[in-house]
Amino acid sequence: MKPYYQDQSVTIYHGDCRQIVPQLGNFDLLLTDPPYGMRFQSNYRQIKHKAIEGDDQMDVELIESLIKKAKCAAYVFCRWDNLLSMPKPKSVIVWVKNNTSMGDLNHEHARQWEACCFYPMENHKFNRRPSDVIYAKRTDNAWHPTQKPVDVMIQLIDANQCQTILDPFAGSGTTGRAAKDLGKQAVLIEMDEQYCEIAAQRMAQEVLL
């Protein structure tokens, strides 16, 4: 299994996580933002990204199997309406954005947050007990249609005692960038080669912390 990119901190694999993850060992932390099953198309950008691969449905069975790869804890991002089908979390973290999302403009409150389910495992320990609310400005989605801010990932990683991190839905590599900046080891998996290349370019940048 040849990596698409590798340095001392981050390894990127191009392919389907359902085929790659079984060949890997366990990790301290699972931190990932899977497709929500909503055929997402951002209205935030004038130049649209292409559709996200695998976004026709949220594969809960796959998510359950991925959570089992975590020795310490797992964080899985989702939409509010995915919470009904997700494995029951110990906590739901709320990421509060600096603006609202689209939706039913006449009959729905404007959403300004995104959910992240937290699953502690047998070996879990916090560095310090974190809040279940994270405030961070959304990105401009320059690299990926559902790109998360590095600061959100840094806060989640840094709250836990962990050294190795797995992100099987890596997108543009934000989890890897956060892990590298914190001096952690990360394995990223991404189906779309375009995003693998973007992630590799981000990993090659200078460590920021």
Let me know if residue 82 belongs to a domain. yes
Say what percent of the chain tops pLDDT 90: 70
Is 90 exceeded by the pLDDT of residue 6?
Answer: yes
Let me know if residue 208 belongs to a domain. no
Let me know if residue 209 belongs to a domain. no
Model pLDDT for residues 141-164, shown as the tens digit of each residue = 554 566 799 999 999 999 999 999
Average pLDDT in the 70-81 region? 95
Number of domains in the chain: 1
21: domain CATH number is: 3.40.50.150
Phi-psi region of 40 (alpha: psi -120 to 50; beta: other; left: phi over 0): beta
Confirm if 71 and 27 have CB atoms less than 8 A apart: yes
Let me know if residue 60 belongs to a domain. yes
Average pLDDT in the 54-78 region? 89
pLDDT of amino acid 69: 98
Residues with Cβ within 8 Å of 202's Cβ and at least 6 positions away in sequence, in order, are 143, 172, 173, 174, 176, 177
Model pLDDT for residues 25-60, shown as the tens digit of each residue = 999 999 999 987 654 445 544 444 455 455 457 889
Let me know if residue 176 belongs to a domain. yes
Model pLDDT for residues 106-122, shown as the tens digit of each residue = 898 988 999 999 999 99
Bridge-based pairing state of the strands 10-14 and 185-190: parallel
Structure tokens at 200: 């590799």
pLDDT of amino acid 138: 73
Boundaries of domain holding 162: 5-203
Average pLDDT in the 78-99 region? 93
Q: What is the average pLDDT value for the chain, to the nearest integer?
A: 88
Is 90 exceeded by the pLDDT of residue 76?
Answer: yes
Q: CB neighbours (10 Å) of residue 99?
A: 9
User: Which one is predicted more confidently, 100 or 33?
Assistant: 33
Q: How confident is the model at residue 84 (pLDDT cuts 50, 70, 90)?
A: very high
pLDDT of amino acid 208: 61
pLDDT of amino acid 98: 81
d(Cα 29, Cα 76) in Å, to the nearest integer?
A: 11
Let me know if residue 53 belongs to a domain. yes
Q: CB neighbours (10 Å) of residue 19?
A: 11
Is 70 exceeded by the pLDDT of residue 132?
Answer: yes
